[in-house]
Amino acid sequence: MAEPGLRRAFGGEAEDAAVSHLERKGYRVRARNFVCPYGELDVVAEDGEVVAFVEVRMRSNAAWGDPSQTVSGKKQRRIVKAALHYLYRHGPLGKMVRFDVVSVVGRGEKAQVEHIPDAFDAGM
């Protein structure tokens, strides 16, 4: 397992790749690393009339499987609670809400980025 500092660096790199990917698809990023008492939101972005709360997951290689599969039910509930807190603090924005996952496998130029819109819902 990587050291905590190294994991943070990999995570930041994965988030950068995810944000670049989303922006190329026309998303407007509103926030990154929004922290509140309920957890952290990696990316908050607008896709037209939708606010997407995006969880970024990464792996250095695909040997251990797809990183998007690591978003547990417990993690989903924390994301939903953090999203509600974000909406409370920043207003409902008059838009629909969606929970996405971006999976990043690899690093640098060769990283494979997959965006999964509506990966889970707030129904828990």
CA torsion angle 53 54 55 58 (round to 10): -170
**CA nearest neighbour of 79 among 59, 95, 65, 97:** 97
Q: Which domain holds residue 76?
A: 4-120
Q: What is the pTM of this model?
A: 0.87
- pLDDT of 9 reads 52
Q: How many domains does the chain have?
A: 1
CA pair distance 95, 78, nearest whole angstrom: 21
What residues in the chain have per-residue pLDDT under 50?
A: 1, 6-7
- pLDDT of 97 reads 95
- pLDDT of 11 reads 63
Residue 18, domain CATH: 3.40.1350.10
CA pair distance 101, 6, nearest whole angstrom: 22
